[in-house]
Amino acid sequence: MKRGYADTPEGQVHYMTEGQGEPLLLLHQTGSSRQYWRLMPLLARQYKVYALDTLGSGNSDALPPDVQISDLARNVVHVMDCLGIPKAHLFGHHTGNKIGTELAAGWPQRVDRLILCGHTHSIQADQDELVAIMGKRVMPGLQKFEAAPDGSHLLKEWAREFSDLSAAWWDTTHIAREAFTPALFQRRKERIIDQLQARDEAAKYQAIFNMNLGAQMRRIRAKTLIIEVRVPDEEHLGPQGPKLLKLIPDSRLATVEHTSGGIVVEASAADEIARLVLDFLQ
């Protein structure tokens, strides 16, 4: 695996690359491209895979002011320009599926085939429903405290961030489901690094909430695979994939059951996702 930086108008973008063949870009969820440690080598057997750290994440530069998802999609195009990639397959997971949708809608000539992957809550095409569901999950942890003259609000934010890091470091909910191996604990360390490196996550989520995902999906012309990741605690939401099939003209649907907890592209389900992606691209 090789690493590098693309110098774009918006700043430096860090990427990892592996394999040979047609280019396949991986766009991550909240965190960084480190999440693709398991999926990337599986796909690199047949494709030249690039896993990007989107702006504001990982080892890439910070977000631009007042960022929108279209800005992040444009930045991916600029990365492709820097790497000499005129057209690529694209895989987007959670936040990455928003960026992938925007890129396919706004720059159709740059996208060959598109894979949109995410838990049920992440592929809500209705903007109001997406805001209502995701807002409950993420906004309490991103809310700013009212500014105090003595700066004590900053101490409160610092304490909250420490609490979040502690919870991620010692996650008793998921850790009991996984085998204790050096690799497991290394992944958890890297997740802490991702949280420390994240810049202005509130702005990125606000950009997601500002995006009309369903409207942009209607503009997609690339052949598209929708991978809906089903988890037990989202059964009440009902399947969303069939709704997306009606929005994206040339699309097909696959469903992955994920019961082991954690990020699906790092879990054992990554093997199934890789198989679905390779079958679709071929």
Q: What are the pLDDT digits (tens) for 188-239?
A: 899 899 989 988 888 999 999 999 999 999 999 999 999 999 999 999 999 9
What does each C-alpha distance from 279 to 5, 264, 272 come to in angstroms? 30, 19, 11
CATH number of 2-141+201-281: 3.40.50.1820
Question: How much of the chain, in percent, has pLDDT values that exceed 70?
Answer: 98
Pairing status of strand 88-93 against strand 23-27: parallel
Residue 193 CB contacts under 8 Å (≥ 6 apart), including other chains: 34
Give per-residue pLDDT as tens, 247-271.
999 999 999 999 887 889 998 899 9
Going by C-beta distance under 8 Å and a sequence separation of 6 or more, which residues neighbour residue 65? Answer: none
**Dihedrals phi, psi of 167, to nearest 5 degrees:** -65, -35
60 Cβ contact partners less than 8 Å away, ≥ 6 residues apart: 11, 12, 13, 14, 52, 53, 54
Q: Considering the chain, what is the average pLDDT of its residues?
A: 93
Find residue 50's DSSP bridge partners.
17, 25
Give the pLDDT mean for 15-42: 97
Please give the model's pTM, rounded to 2 decimal places.
0.93
Q: Which two tokens stand for residue 141?
A: 């942890």
Separation between Cα atoms, residue 119 and residue 233, nearest integer Å: 11
User: What residue ranges do the domains of the chain occupy?
Assistant: 2-141+201-281
